[in-house]
Every structure is written in structure tokens, then in C-alpha cells.
A and B are shown apart, each in its own frame.
Chain A
Amino acid sequence: MVAEKKNFKHNDVETLRSRVIVERDRVTSTASTDFPHNYPGVDLAWDFEKFKENFKIKINRLSKTEMEFDMIGVDAAIANAFRRILIAEVPTMAISNVFVMNNTSVVVDEVLAHRLGLIPILADPTKFDFKAKEETPTDLNTIVFRLTAQCKHNPKASSTETDPLKKYIHSSVYSGDLVWDPKGDQAERFKDCPIKPVYDDIVITKLRPGQEVEVEVHCEKGLGQDHAKWSPVATAAYRLMPEILINGEITGEDAVKFQSCFPEGVVDVVVENGVKKAVVVNARKDTVSREVLRHAEFENKVKLTRVRDHFIFTIESVGSIEPQDLLVQAVQVLMDKCAQVKRALQATLQSD
């Protein structure tokens, strides 16, 4: 099943097998049916060599925190496993204990603790162990930060100043005010990449003269399935590649109308022998709004589908792990799961 350009056909077996069909009022052919014995004469048994031949990854764009890539030739069950792991099962470090020495700000202790917890921490989680509840904190499972801030009047500010940032000193407490307190050999281990919050400009609380905050926080390794603060991604999502099939030709003023049914850049109007003609140039940009299916003149002339095994993946990292490493770690987690189940089943069989 490869995503090659298809001709306009009405729900033949091949279309039903490889495409999700988007109709005016419903979406059909949603379930994948690529299993042995389903289609006479088609061998759909698992074949690793065939999989290797068909499977493709194409990275479209990459930045420090974001990546978009196409994953082609894999079933939704597998792609969805990667997506779910990215959101909930790739470990990261996050603040999980807050010890409040003093807090006279307007933000109460528990809200302050919650806000601190959500700050992304730039630390390599692979260099730390999970800490069980009964375990004592050590330099291998805990990172310590201190946060002390006191607000005062700014003696240099003019008496008519109204901007609190100029009128007071330390009127806002930022994530950048968290000071890492290395324990054990952490200073040595992380000398190349000192541990700090990913962003220094996240407001934690605001203060006025006389108010102060003094806390110690402990970061632990955790998973997104326990709390969203451990999720390494803001979003990890995929959509299927849209496909627009035209039956015959759409010409004249209809072509212009056809073009206006899609987002910019999806359909071009070209002039051939003095006649305007609609041509699909970039179906990827389509939002599959189905606007085109509302117009009587395009009935039976256009068919919207999505390629069942072509996933357009977007990973938006929270900043602590780069997106290209995130995908590799997520796939690794699924492999570890398999290995763990295998070992456990072997042990269970032996003990019986």
C-alpha cells in the first residue's frame, strides 16, 4: 500500500483498502482491512522485507522545539502508539516537591507549587533514575533549585512612576530566578549543560514591597501519564494526507469557483487553449473542509479522500528534549515495552 496518485474511481476494493473516503455528510472506509484472508488473491500477511520497502520517513521542517515529518507505509495502530507515547510515556524532569520557607505573596502556597511544577526543566532525564515514593532523594534522582525573592521600592524611580517593573525591585518573580543547587557530583556531571529552566521569562508570581518568597524545590523524573507537567510535548499529533480527485475536467468559471472552495495553494487555475481549467497542485495544504461538496455543479466531479497510511506528524516539544530525539526515545519506549512483556511472559510460563 503506497501513496501513489490514484485515478477517480468509485469505491473499488483498492480505494476502500488504501483510502479513507470523505463524503459530504460522513466519513467512510475508516477501518484498516489489510489483514490476511480479507481479500481473495492478495497476500497481506506480515512481511518485514515488504514493510522495509514501503516504509518511508520524510522530514519536512525542524527547529529547536518543533518538527514536522511524513511517516508513510505504517498502520494507524503503530503511528498512534508513537503519538500516545510521545504525550504520556517519554520521561522528563519536573518539579514535584516544593518546600515553602516563606511566602507572603498574593499567590497561595499550593497555587505557587502548581505553577512551579509546570515549568519545563532543561535536564537530560536519561541521566537520572526514577525515584520511588519511599526512596530518599539522592543526586541521582533529584535536582534541587532555590528561589528567593524580596520586593522593595526602587529608590531610583521617580515619584510619579506607575510601571511596577520600574517602581519596585523584584516586582515579578520569573522562572529565571530559580537557582540550581548542585548536589553530590552533579556540578561535575552537568558542567557542559548546567541544569536550568528551559525559559527564563515565565512569571511565577508578582510581589509588592514587603512581600517575599523563599522556597526550595525538588525535581524528579516522571511520566506524562502521572501528571501533564512531565509530558515532554506541547502537542504531538498527526493527520492523514488529503487527496482530491477530479472526474474529467473542471473548466471555465467553475474552475475559479472550484479553486475558491479550497485554501490558498491547493488548486491552481491554468489556461489551456484559451480555456480555464482547475488543477490540484498541493493537496497537503487542504484542510478537508468539504466546502466543495456543498455545490451542485461539482457533484460526481470531485472526490475527497485521505491516504490511510500517510501520516503527517507534528511534534511540538516543550523545550527540554529536542523533537528529533523525542521521536527516537518514543519508539525506544515501545521496543522496551515489547521486550518487557516478552520477558515477563517467559517468566510466567516457566513458573507454571
Chain B
Amino acid sequence: MSAAKVRMEEDPVEIDTGKVTIVPGTMTEPQCATFCLQDEDHTLGNALRWTLMKNPEVDFASYSIPHPSETRTNVRIQTSDNTTAVDAIFKGLDDLTDICSHVIQTFQAELAKGEFEYYDESAF
């Protein structure tokens, strides 16, 4: 419930700094880091991995769930010298947000067009 709780909170003052941490010892230089996302799973992990891999400056991007009974996901990023791991994850998140807003827009436009069959199950 805690994940949901935090998500629905609109108040930006209440930010849980434990939500995202950089795993100690993994950021030996700015171009690489392992981020630990608390209360996230394959849903965000895999989608974020995909947008990260789409970035040509990212040499390596991958995620793992270290243990099934702990609700956290590790995201490992290694980039070229043109950027940093932190910038790459921000870009990955922005790209994913762009995709989502475009999906909503496209879906609502399609719904408004009304070019589909509307049926009533009670007929079955």
C-alpha cells in the first residue's frame, strides 16, 4: 500500500528520499551508476530499460530484481563520455513520459472519432 500511498500524494513537499537511491560503490565515475528503485517492479523496470537502450549515448542499460521478496528494482546504466548516468536516467524517464502522453492523446482522439462497433453484452 505504501507505493500507492506515495503515488497518489500530490503534495510535492512529501518526497521520500528512500524511493530512489544510488547503490553505494556503483558510481565509480559519473558515466556509470546503479539506481535502486524502491517499490517498483518489471512494470517500470523493463519500460525504463527500453527507453534507456534507445538512447545512443547509453552503452549499457539493464534492470534486475535482486530478490523476489524485496520490492525493489536495480537499474544499471553505463554511458559514453558525452553524458552521465544521471542525465541518461532523466532522459529515459522523460522519453517514457512522452510516450505515455502521446498514447493517451492518440487513444482519446480515436475514441472521439467513434469509428468502432459499440455493443451491448446483454444481447448475448
Contact = CB atoms under 8 A, between A and B. Distances in A.
A63 B4 contact: no
A317 B110 CA distance: 20
Interface string B26-41: 0000000001010011
Contacts of A66: 121
A82 B100 CA distance: 10
A62 interface: yes
A56 to B, nearest CB: 7
A337 B40 contact: yes
Interface of chain B: mostly helix, strand, loop or mixed? helix
Contacts of A334: 43-44, 47, 96, 100
A36 B107 contact: no
A89 B15 CA distance: 20
Interface residues of B, number: 58
Nearest to A37: B56
A226 B93 contact: no
A328 interface: yes
A80 B46 contact: yes
Nearest to A132: B5
Contacts of B101: 335
Interface residues of A, number: 66
A55 B103 contact: yes
B20 A348 contact: yes
A232 interface: no
Contact of B107 (A37, A327, A335): A327
Contacts of A345: 20, 35, 86, 89-90
Contacts of A287: none
A51 B96 CA distance: 12
B5 A77 contact: no
Contacts of A57: 103, 106-107, 110
B12 to A, nearest CB: 7
B107 A48 contact: no
Given A36-B56, A341-B37, A344-B20, A60 B49 contact: no
Nearest to B54: A46
A216 B84 CA distance: 56
A81 B86 contact: no
Name, among A65, A80, A132, A334, the residue most crowded by chain B CB atoms within 10 Å (CB to CB). Answer: A334
Name, among A222, A327, A348, the residue most crowded by chain B CB atoms within 10 Å (CB to CB). Answer: A348
Contacts of A82: 103
A335 B97 contact: yes
Contacts of A35: 53-54
A166 to B, nearest CB: 26
B64 interface: no
B55 A324 contact: no
A341 B93 contact: yes
A226 B1 contact: yes
A55 B110 CA distance: 12
Contact of B50 (A51, A77, A129, A352): A77
B69 interface: no
Contacts of A327: 107
Contact of A130 (B5, B40, B94): B5
B35 to A, nearest CB: 7
Interface in B95-124: 95-104, 106-108, 110-111, 115-121
A34 B53 CA distance: 9
A59 B19 contact: no
A44 interface: yes
B95 A48 contact: yes
A160 interface: no
Given A59-B110, A226-B1, A341-B37, A335 B120 contact: no
The 5 closest A-B pairs by CB, nearest first: A344-B19, A77-B50, A46-B54, A36-B56, A81-B47
Given A35-B53, A349-B86, 12 more contacts: A51-B102, A77-B47, A84-B43, A130-B5, A133-B1, A331-B107, A336-B7, A337-B7, A344-B15, A345-B86, A347-B15, A351-B17
24 contacts: A45-B55, A48-B98, A52-B102, A55-B103, A58-B116, A59-B115, A63-B120, A63-B121, A69-B110, A324-B111, A331-B104, A332-B104, A334-B100, A335-B100, A338-B94, A341-B19, A341-B40, A342-B90, A342-B94, A343-B12, A343-B15, A345-B90, A347-B17, A348-B21
